[in-house]
Structure 1
């Protein structure tokens, strides 16, 4: 695994979504801020003190869940932690992708560095070493209720830290101990409290949500490009984006999108004035600021909640050295993430919904301003983009099913001790799938609008839409005859999700 030599210093300042993406996907090196190491050490010393005093503390000298009233003597404290990890590693289904697992490890490291978990610094440093040397635990996607933390999936991470379980190294799936050995990372024998500290947290749902939110924020930029290009080739009415309209309904997202469309189409020879061709456009064109803007406002709220969560401590119990106390609370409960993951699902699904409606207008000869039917000049012999629209319609319909909220569900567990759970990890996984589907729809719209631009003359495009057209043509050629397109859709999605491409796109916007 090739690492980027640039560093993300964990513990020196709050992590951002971009920090997580740089480590998870761009493989930046991770280092621990020196000032946090002392906090971790003091917290561990406090745990040792509690053990010496034989204090009754949940998860330290007691069992877990319904067994919280069962006392565990000090001499069995280490075995308790090992048993915890082995018994809780009950994840099922396909494993998470490498970027998600790397994000999980990073977020767990960051939470532990606050010094409220009682874990040894050595364990945290081992996790950092795994990131930097490319050991990626196999973590099944299913099995978390999203309360008491992401217990099952995080246990699969802890297994590899112990030299057990399974992991990927240099692209090969293997025994976790072997992966650690090949990478030159020494496994850790867990001591009192450490197993619980590793698995009692919301880092799985939050890692999935962080990457999905980052992708959705960039998607919101891309669909402003695609909608501007579509509106332009359909000779849209520019008056709908006049700032006067949006000043008197001053939602931030709505105003931003209207400004973006106006900027992207500046200098266009295709946009029209009110009543020049038609008085007003269909909603999929005219209401882009209102629809995209509402999703943007939602995404900003989701972003803010995620940044709080990735810089929070979500263990139980929590150790407060300065106050000389240990508190059993509920910070592990995933409800704050569960709700915003459902919100993310809806916000991203709506960006895809309206994009598909614009694709329909591009290919439908009754709606597309005299463009060739299905954007092919040899209709009949060629089907053009007929089935591309089918694919987009399929994706948005799938999204509608996936957008049903997970957070309204709950099921009791641990003999009704844990009687309300968040289902936040299910919500995060669904949101990530919806975002990916939405990218596919946006790619189809960009592909379609760029082809339509060929018939209207790319030289007639606005300043920003010309950039979007060129971006598409850089990766996808114009081919008039029927040809295989799915590879081009996939290529556009890959390029749109690239960090550098996303940055360049943002530079074209307000």
Structure 2
């Protein structure tokens, strides 16, 4: 956004703020704010929040029993809270729920959580003042983020992480000191507002949005790393014929075939100028459309679920203005997102598994017709790239371990005297998808390293397709050819960075 200074100079005042409440958020909005875009509360949302606040205040004035407002929470839900105890209750609720463990969460995770919580409040049914959403937006303007622990939530509202964010918003102790030191003005909470902060899955949903974006990028990287080996192996590209997906038209498979054909376009293999080495290739080469397509379909489902969640309120209680009362409900249950995250990880594990298998096949002379280990001198005793396969197998194994479903994990019913007998482990699922995507991207870099070596050994660089040629050149900028008598000297970090960038074909 630009402004005009008195002298007529145009001054860049930073990115345009995201206005909350004017339209539903997209996962990409969450990622943008997590990386520094500011956010403000829109006027329509401000009006809705004031209306719901008035409903709450009338209910309190009537003496209505409202969970978490005029009563305690969890196992002490029957304990009343009088007007004179409200201020202390807000503070103690946050402090009591600040039970996190482990390393600090990355700043991006914390910023994403703050935005998601502000967006949920902007729906306008939580019964809190607009000032609470404003406080979250002001905290997002800060150069520092609240200190939040990674662990502590069981996915039935991210109580511990959101409590730490709430303590920072109120300026409490070591939680609030960094924000206050950066110029943030703490907020004094009123009835319902501490509970509204903690009773939210914003931490899980925020990470899920970041994980979705990272996974979409890693799948595009795996598309590229799968396309170059098709040419390196001199594979049978009939598997990419449009007729294949025309007769079995899963949306993700159709999109994958289109993408792979675009990467191979203008190359000798796709044009039919180079005959495939075999009629039947290993499945890891043959079923890329079906496997990557399944990942695309899973990620599309995850994105759809997140869009619903980002447009929603997960609060309980909620205000019903037409009936002028507050009601309790179960919208804090995050099962739809938790299951979508499990689904996405299971799907991504399939793509990671076949990527590793392609690496092993490229290193095996029985499949390539080249020297085992892609040695430049077939008679040399040196490994060349042979041991690279071990690292690839390790990456794939780590990814598959992260893919295990977390939604089946159940505790005893002893939490909160048996009241909280349901969990989803959604934050674990989101964090694991984020980590898996990073492993997938690294594995794509390993696969390209092997594929580029095979292409050079065949001396077919001039036959590469439009997209695969770009990928080959990017690989060679970071990973030199391994000549006879040399050891690999790859800069996989640089190649991995390129694979995660917008430069990818």
Conserved in 1, the CA contact under 8 Å of 2:146 and 2:179?
no
Partner of 1:327: 327
Q: How does 1:7-86 map to 2 (within 5 A)?
A: 7-25=17-35, 27-86=36-95
Conserved in 1, the CA contact under 8 Å of 2:221 and 2:500?
no
Q: How does 1:495-510 map to 2 (within 5 A)?
A: 495-498=498-501, 501=502, 504-505=503-504, 508=505
* 1:358 Cα deviation from its structure 2 partner: 0.8
* 1:3 Cα deviation from its structure 2 partner: 9.4
Take 2:88 and 2:336, find their aligned partners in 1: how far apart are those partners?
A: 33
Q: How does 1:8-407 map to 2 (within 5 A)?
A: 8-25=18-35, 27-147=36-156, 149-164=157-172, 175-270=174-269, 277-370=277-370, 372-378=371-377, 382-407=382-407
Take 1:127 and 1:475, find their aligned partners in 2: how far apart are those partners?
A: 42
Take 2:416 and 2:387, find their aligned partners in 1: how far apart are those partners?
A: 49
Partner of 2:466: 463
TM-score norm. by structure 1 comes to 0.90
Take 1:134 and 1:311, find their aligned partners in 2: how far apart are those partners?
A: 27
Take 1:308 and 1:158, find their aligned partners in 2: how far apart are those partners?
A: 25
Take 2:197 and 2:85, find their aligned partners in 1: how far apart are those partners?
A: 19
Take 2:214 and 2:49, find their aligned partners in 1: how far apart are those partners?
A: 33
Q: Secondary structure at the match of 1:401?
A: helix
* 1:475 Cα deviation from its structure 2 partner: 4.6
Conserved in 1, the CA contact under 8 Å of 2:104 and 2:147?
yes
Q: Secondary structure at the match of 2:243?
A: helix
Partner of 1:489: 492
Partner of 1:431: 433
Conserved in 1, the CA contact under 8 Å of 2:139 and 2:145?
yes
Q: How does 1:439-458 map to 2 (within 5 A)?
A: 439-455=441-457, 456-458=459-461
Take 1:441 and 1:192, find their aligned partners in 2: how far apart are those partners?
A: 51
Conserved in 1, the CA contact under 8 Å of 2:234 and 2:275?
no
* 1:476 Cα deviation from its structure 2 partner: 4.5
Take 2:181 and 2:152, find their aligned partners in 1: how far apart are those partners?
A: 29
Structure 1 alignment gaps of length 5 or more: 166-174
Take 1:450 and 1:12, find their aligned partners in 2: how far apart are those partners?
A: 49
- Given the superposition, is the C-alpha separation of residues 275 and 484 from structure 1 closer, same or farther in structure 2, using an over 3 Å criterion? closer
* 1:83 Cα deviation from its structure 2 partner: 0.8
Q: Secondary structure at the match of 1:9?
A: strand
- Given the superposition, is the C-alpha separation of residues 130 and 451 from structure 1 closer, same or farther in structure 2, using an over 3 Å criterion? farther
Conserved in 2, the CA contact under 8 Å of 1:233 and 1:453?
yes
Partner of 2:4: none
Number of aligned residues:
487
Conserved in 2, the CA contact under 8 Å of 1:51 and 1:74?
no
C-alpha RMSD of matched pairs (Å): 2.1
- Given the superposition, is the C-alpha separation of residues 289 and 323 from structure 1 closer, same or farther in structure 2, using an over 3 Å criterion? same
Take 1:276 and 1:433, find their aligned partners in 2: how far apart are those partners?
A: 36
Partner of 1:168: none
* 1:382 Cα deviation from its structure 2 partner: 4.3
Take 2:64 and 2:344, find their aligned partners in 1: how far apart are those partners?
A: 43
Partner of 2:5: none
Take 1:276 and 1:57, find their aligned partners in 2: how far apart are those partners?
A: 71
Q: Secondary structure at the match of 1:297?
A: helix
Take 1:495 and 1:463, find their aligned partners in 2: how far apart are those partners?
A: 17
Higher mean alpha-carbon deviation, 344-353 vs 382-391, is at 382-391
Q: Secondary structure at the match of 2:387?
A: helix
Q: Secondary structure at the match of 2:366?
A: coil
- Given the superposition, is the C-alpha separation of residues 277 and 476 from structure 1 closer, same or farther in structure 2, using an over 3 Å criterion? closer
Q: Secondary structure at the match of 1:326?
A: strand
Take 1:483 and 1:354, find their aligned partners in 2: how far apart are those partners?
A: 23
Partner of 1:172: none
* 1:10 Cα deviation from its structure 2 partner: 2.1
Structure 2 alignment gaps of length 5 or more: 1-11
- Given the superposition, is the C-alpha separation of residues 445 and 190 from structure 1 closer, same or farther in structure 2, using an over 3 Å criterion? same
Deviations 1:203-243 (A, max 9, x none): 11111111111111122222111111111111011211111
* 1:436 Cα deviation from its structure 2 partner: 1.8
